Amino acid sequence: MVTWRRQAEFAGEWLKKGQLVCIEGKLQTRSWEEDGQKKYMTEVVADNITMLGSKGDSGGKSPDSAPKTENSTEAPQDNDDEDDDDDLPF
């Protein structure tokens, strides 16, 4: 994973090996020659990092107190009441 600026600081401070995260971004493939052989590397350039899992999976630090990353956006919450069947026409 490749990330920059505040998002890189966030990842370095809050993310731990084995922790569940969702990474949104772009795939980038680089190539170079080493000892006469063509080498390739594919990386994820992160646009957004979201911490997943329960509070106990955070490696000692609480994700609730984690700062927001610069490029992160939260999905809007759907506040429709699922039990409200009074508006149904049947």
Q: Would you kindly state where each structural domain of the chain is located, as residue ranges? A: 5-54
Is pTM beyond 0.85? Reply is no
pLDDT at 71: 55
Nearest to 21 by CA among 84, 70, 72: 72
DSSP H stretches of helix in the chain: 5-14
User: What are the angstrom distances between the C-alpha of 88 and each of 78, 82, 85?
Assistant: 18, 12, 6
Residues of the chain with pLDDT under 70: 54-90
State the fold for domain 5-54. OB fold (Dihydrolipoamide Acetyltransferase, E2P) (2.40.50)
Nearest to 51 by CA among 28, 25, 26, 18: 18
